[in-house]
Structure 1
Amino acid sequence: MVATTSSVAVASWETAQAALGIELSEPERLQLETVARDAQSWLEGLTLETGEPVWSHALGMALLAAELKLDLASRLAALLYPVPTRVPEQWDAIQESLSPDVLRLIKGLQRLHGVRLRSGDGAPERDTIEAVRKMVLAMVEDVRVVLLRLSSRVMTLRWFAKHPEHESARSYAAESQTLYAPLANRLGIWRLKWEIEDLAFRLLDPETYKSLAKRLEERRVEREAFITERIAEFTALLQQMKIAPFEVTGRPKHLYSIFLKMQRKRLDLREIYDLRAVRILVPTVADCYAVLAEVHARYQPIEGEFDDYIARPKANGYQSLHTAVVAADGRPLEVQIRTFAMHRAAEFGVAAHWRYKEGAPKPSSYDEKIALLRSLLAWRDEVADANVWADRVKRAIKEEVIYVTTPAGRVIDLPYGATPIDFAYRIHTDVGHRCRGVKVDGQIVPLNTPLTTGQTVEILTAKTGGPSRDWLQPGFVVTRHARSKIRLWFAQAEQAQLEARGKTLVEQTLARAGKTKTKVDDLAARLGFKEPAALYRAFARGEVGPKALLEAVEGKPDASESASAARRRAPQDHVGPNAVASVVIGGERGFYAQPAKCCLPQLGDAIVAFLSRSRGLTIHHQACPEIARLRHVHPERVLPATWESS
């Protein structure tokens, strides 16, 4: 048995009514019917960007949600999610009548609506990671959002299967192979995985798809007769074993998985064992192994074709026994044996554990969250190489990370307790410097307001300006990145002021001596500085005096000044109390600082810098008791630093 993708369009609400309300109570079915009729009246005649009718897309999503046995809220969200953007006047009228659960799901779907890779084939890694992060944000909040998103993608691919000439068909198909099929696999939802894979295969490689489908169809009658005989044999076997209840069926094999196996193992179609396959469902794990023993006793096992996924489940939780045997007619047969519960989990994956029923608590245990996030990490490994990001997701299970979005939908992950200022600096250093206010979910809030997962944050900026020193007080920033950027801004500002004062003093000194035509670049070089700015700062600090300056103009630098300049030019093993060292602060080079006399740090020591109002920058050993005191008294003036030579 080979499965082919169904692309039959949903004709109307009437034909879908029974399927849509499956496993719901009578009041729930009536509510669903009322909402569906309203949604149909609002959405019929509208089309999506792909050309697909909005109503058939929404109804198809709801039918897939029903097939996955999702709850009433999920089915309502599927029907209504286009309403806020397509018919906002109706949305304003109905949203107060909807439960918070439905509203949350619709908001989650809207957030994921723009998740696209910018190019279908070989999308940039940053795009892939960004799409993954948005998916994870939604799943951390409510995995049903992503189950509905997968259902939406199935509907889009079904539409393209009927309209393969559409300009976006291939890009959507490639994106589906890259993102959505691995996600469905990792969440264990085979029902959606195989359809996404087969439809994408059909759109990306139509010639191979058609050729393979034709070859399979040519022997379909013979293969189905073979499977019917084997089902009869295994039914008799299970009756003899007195196992009840049980179920024996032919197992569908999907075109894309056949193609992959042929490619991976370099086999011809005739050599694929599991084209002829039977699935046996039994009540217990003990029954699984008992049936396996009988199958191996009655049929010759094929060496190397047995896998015990019950003892060693797959990464997505899949459990089953797989074996291949030689059937009575001498041809190979694959046999899968699993419990009914394992089969439900295999077909519906995480959806089987997230079926919210009236009066039943939603699953929220730590173990379930761990299991879900393990699946997400495994999926992330398939679609993007982002080890740092993986660590962030792992921290999310301990609520050490929050996920917030920009107005454009970009997801930003921050430490728990982060503020809008942290968010602004995460966007860009310049946005952080010019931040003057913030809107969170459309409301203006104080800049020291802690953010929480799911919020939309909009930074209000000035055209120019810099940060406030208040931001270095407790409660305004929690990230080291933001704090270091703020401190660096003030250090650079004071360096700029020092440079301007020194430039004025140098120009005044040269003017009094009648040397206004002196080239300052040459003068700085004679005194051992790489640029005039360094000379200006040294002059302002008194490290170079008027006498040394004028002697350098004449080409006769004083010996002591020459030695001092030499110390400034090159790294030294010993840094004296009067030396000037070149250091790196916040990743920026070109800062000159004096060693603190209290600890006299030497080249190679771990250091920090302190910004003094009078002396400029001084450097201390990290273990210096004085810097420990200064950290407590003036934390905003203590800056991370390293030796420039290192």
Structure 2
Amino acid sequence: MYLFIGLKEQLQTYLDPSQVQEVEKSYIFARDAHAGQLRSSGDPYITHPVAVAKILASLHLDYQTIMAALMHDVIEDCEVSRETLVEKFGERVAGLVEGVSKLTQIKFRSREEAQAENFRKMMMAMVEDLRVVLIKLADRLHNMRTLGSLRPDKQRRIAKETIEIYAPIANRLGMYAIRSELEELGFAAKYPMRCRVIRDSVKKARGNRKEIVSSICNNIQSRLDAEYIDAEVIGREKSPFSIYQKMLDKVGKKAQVFDDIMDVYGFRVTTDTEDNCYRILGQLHNLYRPVPGRFKDYIAIPKTNGYQSLHTTLKGPHGLHIEVQIRTTTMDQMAENGVAAHWLYKSGNDINRAEIRAREWMRNLLELQKNTRDSLEFIESVKVDLFPDEVYIFTPNGNIIELPKGATPVDFAYAIHTDVGNSCIASKVDGKISALSTELTNGRTVEIITAPGAKPNPGWLSFVTTSKARTNIRHFIKNLRRDDAINLGRRLLEKALGGVTLDSIDKAIIDRVIKETRRENFEEILAEIGLGQTASVIIAHRLDPKVDTGGEKHSTQDRPLAIKGTEGMMIEYAKCCHPIPGDPIVGTISTSGGFILHRQDCNNVANHRDQLDKYVPVQWEKDVEGEFRVELRVGVLNQHGVLAKVTSLIADEGVNIANIEIDAHDGATNLLCFLIDVKNRLHLANIIRKIRLYDFVIKVSRHR
């Protein structure tokens, strides 16, 4: 019990005796479960969960969390079942232990997938109960403190994961103290040489720095005392990791890297009221000259994780830059402990700002989880949210929306509501129409213009930055592809049935086919047909046994599938031959599902008449809708203004030019290659005819 004594003394300072007794029972259970197990350092394994519990006890976490921390490895390492924990300690504690446990039973294709799935599970458990991630962070913090007993390669791997995932999570939850320690320990383990060099450089530069810091502290304190403002001033030294991060930012900017970083001095001023924060700011700006563009008011507009403070940079004595943070004592406590301040400083039923922000983030995580395909995509999306460099954007009503740096009006629309994002068609930034890909900057007012029936554009994925926007666009595309597949599958099946519509087939027959094929519904069958995963003639034969599915000349082969041009994502037009309405065409099933249309004279489908099992006969509808890409080649004399005249003529015909390439044959002639969108062969013929009228044109042809 000697290991438990220190923890017990901590717990007795804030828990009831009956709760301390419950924690002691969990300690005895964990100690017995881990009996005989050793850590890499050779210490008894139970020392680790006790250390994790002590970290959480320092934050005054409730007794159930402390119990779960003591037993957080018993499911994974000791073959203790969840049911046993429920029976001995209750559902809440068992749920916390299970939330922290890793997924060692599931076999994954790769280490990355296993880590991603563990991370996904932790995030989802956190949504259920925030205390899960607090235990996990304390667990990781103690592991980092005792990392020295592991192999160097393992140290680097764990350090990388800590810097990339766990420190940002602590930051996202507003827990600065834990985040900074995780970063420092991770940096020392991942880059030991760099860390050592920076620490040595700091020691060498420290000489007269203490005197400078002390002098500035005294100057600030004297000014505030003279104005009867109650405040405490503290000078601080930059940590090796923050110096390293700033050095990385300076790379390529022609700076005297280390000296530039060390010339910045940091100070924190804490006071009792918010009003005093702004009074102190005024006094500091009178004492030292402020650096333009370096003031941030995180009190009026808090950071995403609930952090509040005033930040300003001043020109101090000898031209030194002074970075100052001004905040109330409560804000300082919240900045250090974030959501954990819910337990440390909670009075009554108050919930701190960091916890409110954390709950909002967790609701977003739940939406991400529903819309992502797998754990790797999920962790990629969450990482975007874990590294926000925020910009603050105003709605027309004056509300503030926080977005990561580089966000666009589409990100803003999805931040307001998913439906607004899905239906947005344009945006106004500060009252002016702006492209949806415009990068937003601080203080802009953005208005989103929506339209009923509008749909997300897959092209938005190339510029959106928030995980919510990216996930919702992907989710819509995935559903859109399914809808297109169902529509195409219906048409293919009706063709295979000889023109019989599915609406005319008895529901009992359709239900029988659903049962025979073991599908949930008929739409699933139609989607598989559209994606090329199931042959339409096989399903047609199940629906109507009279349908001939044998041989090469069954009746349905003589009725080509009509192409309207509105089939959406399930029809792809081959880039090798660029078929357009009016061309004789043939279809082939693509490996990813859907059809690829080729011209019948395309070399890539030369055997389509001999291999009827691989190709589907298709033809254009009479009234085809849409625009179709085609490659047009124009041989011209090398004269001034030739390209401008040809492109102007094409544009006057209402044709979009997707791409232009110029091939200089010799000094006298050039070959202009245009990729243009036309309606049909007649439309293309009119363009070719008009281009031929120019006297500098040698030859015009459609590329085959």
TM-score normalised to structure 2 length = 0.53
Whole-Å Cα distance in 1 between the matches of residues 115 and 418 of structure 2? 21
Deviates more, 1:136-145 or 1:27-36: 27-36
Cα distance in 2 for partners of 1:368, 1:588 equals 43
| Cα distance in 1 for residues equivalent to 2:37 and 2:196 | 33
Decide which of 494, 499, 514 is 2:539's aligned counterpart: 494
Q: Is the 8 A contact 1:69 1:355 kept in 2?
A: yes
Which one of the candidate residues 48, 64, 77 is aligned to 1:57?
48
Change (3 A) 1:570 1:229: closer
Q: In the TM superposition, what are the counterparts of 1:316-331 in structure 2 within 5 Å?
A: 316-327=305-316, 331=320
Show the counterpart of 2:179.
193
Q: Greater shift after overlay, 138-147 or 372-381?
A: 372-381
The verdict on how the C-alpha distance between 1:238 and 1:362 changes in structure 2, with shifts beyond 3 A counting, is closer
Q: Cα distance 1:375–1:234, how it changes in 2: closer, same or farther (>3 A)? A: farther
Residue segments in structure 1 that go unaligned for 5+ positions in a row: 1-10, 397-413, 416-421, 426-465, 507-531, 544-563, 574-579, 607-646
Q: Does residue 284 of the first structure (1) align with residue 284 of the second (2)?
A: no
User: Does 2:161 correspond to 1:175?
Assistant: yes
Secondary structure of the 1:54 match is coil
Q: CA deviation at 1:584?
A: 7.4
**1:262 equivalent in structure 2:** 247
Q: Which residue does 1:146 correspond to in 2?
A: 133
**Contact conserved, 1:48 with 1:54, CA < 8 A, in 2?**
yes
Are the equivalent residues in 2 in contact too, given 1:187–1:350 (CA < 8 A)? yes
Residue 91 of structure 1, CA deviation: 7.3
Specify whether residues 42 and 241 from structure 1 end up closer, same or farther in structure 2 by C-alpha distance, changes over 3 A only: farther
CA gap of 1:327–1:366, structure 2 versus 1, over 3 A, is: closer
Q: After TM superposition, give the deviation of residue 149 of structure 1 in Å.
A: 1.5
> 2: CA distance between counterparts of 1:192 and 1:45?
31
Which residue, 438, 463, 468 being the options, matches 2:515? 468
Q: Which shows bigger deviation, 110-119 or 284-293?
A: 110-119
Residues 1:138 and 1:505: Cα distance change in structure 2 (over 3 Å): closer
Q: Would the aligned equivalents of 1:280 and 1:337 in 2 still touch at CA under 8 Å?
A: yes
Deviation at 1:469, TM superposition (A): 5.8
Going from structure 1 to structure 2, the CA distance change for 1:27 and 1:128 (only over 3 Å counts) comes to closer
Equivalent residue letter for 2:287: R
Residues 1:259 and 1:191: Cα distance change in structure 2 (over 3 Å): same
Distance 1:277 1:605, change over 3 A: closer
Deviation at 1:259, TM superposition (A): 0.7
Per the TM alignment, residue 282 of structure 1 is displaced from its structure 2 partner at its CA by: 1.4
Q: How many Å separate the matches in 2 of 1:327 and 1:363? A: 35
Where does residue 587 of structure 1 map in the other structure?
593
Checking the alignment, whether the CA contact within 8 Å between 1:324 and 1:335 is kept in structure 2 is yes
Cα distance between partner residues in 2 of 1:115 and 1:217: 49
Q: CA separation of 1:486/1:147 partners in 2, compared to 1, >3 Å: closer, same or farther?
A: farther
Q: Whole-Å Cα distance in 2 between the matches of residues 18 and 275 of structure 1?
A: 42
Structure-1 residue corresponding to 2:121 = 134
Distance 1:177 1:101, change over 3 A: same
Identity of aligned residues (%): 27
Aligned to 1:370: 360
Matched, 1:336 2:325: yes
1:46 paired to 2:37: yes
Give the secondary-structure state (helix, strand or coil) at the position aligned to 1:253.
coil
Q: Contact conserved, 1:188 with 1:318, CA < 8 A, in 2?
A: yes
Partner of 1:101: 92
CA separation in 2, counterparts of 1:496 and 1:38? 64
Task: Tell me which of the two structures has the higher relative contact order, counting C-alpha pairs closer than 8 angstroms and 6 or more residues apart.
Answer: 1
- How far apart in 1 are the matches of 2:104 and 2:206? 40
Q: Which string of whole-angstrom CA distances, capped at 9 and with x for unpartnered residues, describes residues 117-147 of structure 1?
A: 9989xx6xx7786565434322321222122
> Helix, strand or coil: the match of 1:333?
strand
Once the two structures are TM-superposed, the CA of residue 495 in structure 1 deviates from its matched residue by: 5.0
Q: CA distance change for structure 1 residues 273 and 119 in 2, over 3 Å: closer, same or farther? A: farther
Preserved contact between residue 150 and residue 180 of structure 1 (Cα < 8 Å) = yes
Among candidates 380, 384, 404, match of residue 383 of structure 2: 380
Alignment of 1:101-500 (within 5 A): 101-111=92-102, 130=117, 133-160=120-147, 162-163=148-149, 165-220=151-206, 222-244=208-230, 246-266=231-251, 267-272=256-261, 276-327=265-316, 331-353=320-342, 360=349, 369-373=359-363, 379-381=382-384, 468=515, 484-485=527-528, 489=534, 491=536, 493-495=538-540
Closer, same or farther in 2 for the Cα pair 1:368/1:148, shift >3 Å?
A: closer
Is residue 273–residue 334 contact of structure 1 (8 Å, CA) maintained in 2?
no
Question: Offset at 1:114?
Answer: 8.8
- Asked if 2 retains the 8 angstrom alpha-carbon contact of 1:188 and 1:349, the reply is yes
CA contact (8 A) 1:247 1:280 kept: yes
Query: Aligned partners of 2:155, 2:249: CA distance in 1, in Å?
Result: 26
Over 3 Å counting, the alpha-carbon distance change for 1:502 and 1:392 in structure 2 is farther
Report if aligned partners of 1:182, 1:382 keep a CA contact under 8 Å in 2. no
Aligned-pair distance for 1:262? Answer: 1.8
| AA aligned opposite 1:587 | G
- Consecutive unaligned residues of structure 2, counting only runs of 5 or more, are 369-380, 389-409, 420-470, 473-478, 483-512, 566-584, 596-613, 627-704
- Determine if the alignment matches structure 1 residue 79 to structure 2 residue 45: no
**Deviation of the 1:255 alpha carbon:** 1.4
Structure 1 residues 318, 359: CA separation in 2 closer, same or farther (over 3 Å shift)?
closer
Normalised to the residue count of structure 1, the TM-score between the two structures is 0.57
Cα deviation, 1:493-522, whole Å, max 9, x if unaligned, reads 32577999888975xxxxxxxxxxxxxxxx
Letter in structure 2 aligned against 1:345: M
RMSD: 5.2
1:70 is matched with which residue? 61
Q: Which residue of 1 aligns with 2:692?
A: none
Partners of 2:233 and 2:268 within 8 A in 1: yes
CA contact (8 A) 1:112 1:135 kept: no
Q: Secondary structure at the match of 1:168?
A: helix
State the distance in 2 between where 1:309 and 1:204 align.
32
**Which residue number corresponds to residue 454 of structure 1?**
none
Measure the CA separation in 2 of the matches of 1:116 and 1:234: 60
Q: CA deviation at 1:483?
A: 7.7
SS at match of 1:318: coil
Change (3 A) 1:176 1:290: same
C-alpha distance in 2, partners of 1:167/1:236? 52
Contact in 2 for aligned 1:28/1:72 (Cα 8 Å): yes
Count of residues in correspondence between the two structures: 457
Distance 1:602 1:191, change over 3 A: farther
Distance in 2, matches of 1:52 and 1:17, equals 20
Q: Is the 8 A contact 2:562 2:618 kept in 1?
A: no
How far is 1:301 from its partner? 3.2
Distance 1:195 1:258 in 2: 14
Give the secondary-structure state (helix, strand or coil) at the position aligned to 1:12. Answer: helix
1:273-296 CA-to-partner distances (Å, cap 9, x unmatched) read: 676322111122211110111122
